[in-house]
Amino acid sequence: MEANTQPNQEKRKYSSALRLWHWLNLLVITGSLTTVLINSTLNDRKGAVDAYQQNTENVSLAAAQIQSVVHQQEDSVWEIHVYFGYALATLLLFRLILEFFQLSDQKFIRILKNTYQHYKDTKEHRFKAQKKFGVKLVYVFFYLLLIVMVTTGLTLVFGGDFGVPKTISHDVKEVHGFTMYLILAFIAAHLAGVYLAERKDQKGITSDMINGGD
Ligand code: HEM
Ligand code: HEM
């Protein structure tokens, strides 16, 4: 079995812990995004009032009553969002600890350094080396986004208990909401990258992320 120390080497190896983290992370992020989607569509208060008024003839409810019911539903969905949030925070912690316990040639930091070194030193295939280093930088960007998402999310949940003022919480919520778009951008780029890698020079990369690779 060869390890992933040489950036240009086509053998890949992902530890079972990294693979478990990767696929659980996918599930939890998908769950979290689904709760956001539900609250911005089905539990949209203005939309609910319009829909109710258009679709009911004999029963009448005040807009405020409809909004209160939708508000309760919205809160229940946010509760589920927070559970996904705890799972994501746990997975982030797991990923950080894993970095210390990975075999040294599977450590993300080491692979990042090797890919950078290779890009700096190589005279041939510079574009390929640059691309490999670029992909690793995108992962660094994603891990930073994850840290922002978890710290802002936990601040929204527990900030009140630690005396974080409402105005700050409001800004934190804005940052939290905006970071979601950056995470969506990462996911789109990542899926496109994996698709292109499969079609071009890294056939089987997805199954490597499932069964570990060579
Ligand atoms: C990829 C992961 C996540 C995504 C995409 C996400 C997305 C969002 C979005 C778009 C909002 C609405 C913000 C607004 O109204 O401006 C929100 C609210 C919130 N999120 Fe997250 N979030 C994620 C992770 C987390 C985590 C890790 C926690 C912490 C446990 C968390 C806790 C919260 C809380 C408490 C709210 C406020 C809910 C309310 O208004 O009652 N989120 N999230
Ligand atoms: C929410 C969705 C996803 C997120 C957040 C995500 C995140 C990540 C991250 C952070 C890595 C780098 C891991 C590391 O080396 O530390 C990675 C690698 C990888 N992911 Fe994903 N992933 C997602 C979905 C997917 C899907 C759906 C697939 C397959 C179709 C996939 C296939 C892969 C593969 C093959 C790699 C290894 C690529 C390489 O070595 O450069 N990912 N993913």
Each residue of 76-103: pLDDT tens digit?
A: 999 999 999 999 999 999 999 999 999 9
The ligand with the least distance to the CA atom of 21 is: 2
In a domain, 28, yes or no: yes
CB 22 less than 6 A from any atom of ligand 2: yes
Section 22-46 average pLDDT: 94
* Ligand 2 atom with minimal separation from the 183 CA: 5
> pLDDT (tens digit, 9 = 90+) per residue, 134-144?
999 999 999 99
In a domain, 200, yes or no: yes
Listed in order, strand segments (DSSP E) in 10-115 are: none
**Regarding predicted confidence, which is higher, 73 or 58?**
73
- Rounded to the nearest whole angstrom, what is the distance from the C-alpha of residue 38 to the centroid of ligand 1? 13
- Co-location of 206 and 145 in the same domain: yes
- Co-location of 135 and 199 in the same domain: yes
- Co-location of 194 and 116 in the same domain: yes
51: tokens are 């829909």
- Rounded to the nearest whole angstrom, what is the distance from the C-alpha of residue 26 to the centroid of ligand 1? 16
In a domain, 92, yes or no: no
Its pTM stands at: 0.91
Position 46 pLDDT exceeds 80 = no
Q: Is the separation of the CB atoms in 80 and 28 below 8 Å?
A: no
- Co-location of 58 and 122 in the same domain: no
Report how far residue 164's alpha carbon sits from residue 42's, in angstroms, rounded to the nearest whole number: 31
> pLDDT (tens digit, 9 = 90+) per residue, 153-195?
999 999 999 999 999 999 999 999 999 999 999 999 999 999 9
- Co-location of 129 and 196 in the same domain: yes
State residue 8's pLDDT score: 42
Position 1 pLDDT exceeds 70 = no
State residue 58's pLDDT score: 66
The pLDDT mean for the chain works out to 91
**Regarding predicted confidence, which is higher, 130 or 60?**
130
Nearest by Cα to 76 from 35, 132, 124, 113: 35
State residue 3's pLDDT score: 42
Section 52-74 average pLDDT: 80
Structural domain including 128 reads 107-214
The confidence band for 12, taking pLDDT boundaries of 50, 70 and 90, is low
State residue 92's pLDDT score: 98
- Phi-psi region at 60: left, alpha or beta (left = phi > 0; alpha = psi -120 to 50): beta
Three-class secondary structure of residue 75 per DSSP: helix
- Residue 110: C-alpha distances to residues 104, 125, 126, 129, 213 (Å): 7, 21, 20, 16, 19
> Residues with Cβ < 8 Å from 133, sequence gap 6 or more?
7, 115, 116, 118, 119
- Co-location of 113 and 169 in the same domain: yes
User: Side chain identity at 122, as an amino acid letter?
Assistant: T
Helix axes 108-121, 126-158, angle to 10 degrees: 150
User: Side chain identity at 149, as an amino acid letter?
Assistant: M
In a domain, 114, yes or no: yes
**Regarding predicted confidence, which is higher, 2 or 16?**
16
State whether the Cα torsion 24-25-26-31 is positive or negative: positive
Position 38 pLDDT exceeds 70 = yes
- Co-location of 151 and 52 in the same domain: no
- Rounded to the nearest whole angstrom, what is the distance from the C-alpha of residue 19 to the centroid of ligand 2? 9
**Regarding predicted confidence, which is higher, 80 or 9?**
80
The ligand with the least distance to the CA atom of 182 is: 1
The ligand with the least distance to the CA atom of 76 is: 1
Count of domains forming the chain: 2
- Co-location of 199 and 130 in the same domain: yes
